Amino acid sequence: MKPTMPAFQDARLLVAGDVMLDRYWHGKASRISPEAPVPVVRVGKREDRPGGAGNVALNIAALGSAATLVGVVGADDTADELRSRLEAAGVYCEFLRSPDKPTITKLRVIGHQQQLIRLDFEQRFNAADTEGLAGKVAGLLAEAQVLLLSDYDKGGIGDVGELIALGRKQGIPVIVDPKGNDFSRYRGATLITPNLAEFEAIMGPSDNETELVAKGEELIKRLELEAVLITRGELGMTLIRPNAPELHLPARAQEVYDVTGAGDTVISVLSAALAAGEKLTDAVVLANLAAGLVVGKLGTAAISAPELRRALIEEQDSGRGIMSASQLHIAVQDARDHGERIVFTNGCFDIIHAGHVGYLDEARKLGDRLIVAVNDDASVRKLKGPGRPINPLDRRLRVLAGLGAVDWVVSFSEDTPEDLLRDLRPDVLVKGGDYTLDEVVGGELVKSWGGEVQVLAFIDDCSTSAIVEKMRQADGDTSTD
């Protein structure tokens, strides 16, 4: 599984949920109060950020996707501040204003980068406050590719079942970040994303992975869902689908700094990737990667598209390059365990030319991973004669490893790569040049385990031998001048 960066700019999402403002007061806590055994914080910096469903919409906008946010706020200055910050980030807001309840606000006091206390200013919204919310959602759904419900159990989401029905009637996925002890209200959603504590509060504790998956499948059946994604903190996350193997993804964070808003990032990236046309499994991989980034930041924070793109590139580059045969065996087994299709090609690759590059690009498109096996110097001399190779093995390996299409490079000393083929058992064997399928060495071997054999043409008039001959002629011409 090797996801690419989605076309987030083409995605349009509608977010409905509990909107709130996250306030941060930063300062130094250098002494204890004489009035009580508590630290005294000298506040030096104040910061406001959209929270709850607002943070979800902000994350979507940071990816470059179009985000529309529906929710309930108070008739106060806090609501105006919240709208101003969201609209400045590119989020279109459709708010209902409660005349007698405040905009939900969470104030966190931070001393020396450590959260010391959180103060919540809120009253639970009721049916009178959310009257008209479903109508707003219905009027906006025609422009959305995904409906995302961000439920913080504050009462601001209204009748969840009605919103799910609206989304399914529109024919778009409905993704829910659930809260509370009654998941029956999420019946019919496409996917829900509880954390492990929320999941076990509903389904009971699980002693092992098998039990966790079984309970996830039971929840899917009970609520008529298509999938459940369980976020598990330091254990990563698990995607469970009916009639499909579960997908366990390890946590990606190098250092956990603050988990605030991590769930918002997961559901935002997941939903935006689905809206951009990605498969569910690839969307989950991207969401897991983004979660590893956001927990390294303080407070609610959005992951931008460039941040995610860089992390994705670094993730995909890990484990690539020149390998020994034993290292490659492990890497291929891991790739195969993740459902990746392995492509294998081999050759001398003495002078890398345009024909090689184009051929390797085409070979890479036949699967998820491309292995290039390279003849060592002695075997090249045996095949090509004295004077070859022009470039020694280490240089040939380094050049090939630097090509974007190539995942792994390995050398072999035998006349043919058949020993490597037997060990690695690739899905596709590719050869470039003027070969027929019957002439490809190792072809019958690969076919014996159900693999494919393909021949791809080099670019016309490109070959190492031709290049070497031209160089010799040019050298001869120069000597006679």
The catalytic residues are 264
Beta strands in 202-310 (DSSP E): 227-231, 237-240, 247-249
Are 380 and 349 a contacting pair, CB within 8 Å? no
Task: Compute the distance between CA of residue 456 and CA of residue 370 in angstroms, rounded to an integer.
Answer: 14
Burial bucket for residue 196 (CB in 10 Å: 0-12, 13-18, 19+): middle
DSSP summary character for residue 122: -
Are 195 and 177 a contacting pair, CB within 8 Å? no
Beta strands in 196-296 (DSSP E): 227-231, 237-240, 247-249
Main-chain dihedrals φ then ψ at residue 148, nearest 5 degrees? -115, 125
As separate numbers, helices (DSSP H) first and strands (DSSP E) second, the chain gives 17, 19
Structure tokens given for 54: 């607002």
Task: Compute the distance between CA of residue 295 and CA of residue 286 in angstroms, rounded to an integer.
Answer: 15
Tell the residue number behind the tokens 């104030």, with chain if given: 107
Are 27 and 47 a contacting pair, CB within 8 Å? no
Task: Compute the distance between CA of residue 380 and CA of residue 374 in angstroms, rounded to an integer.
Answer: 9
DSSP summary character for residue 102: P
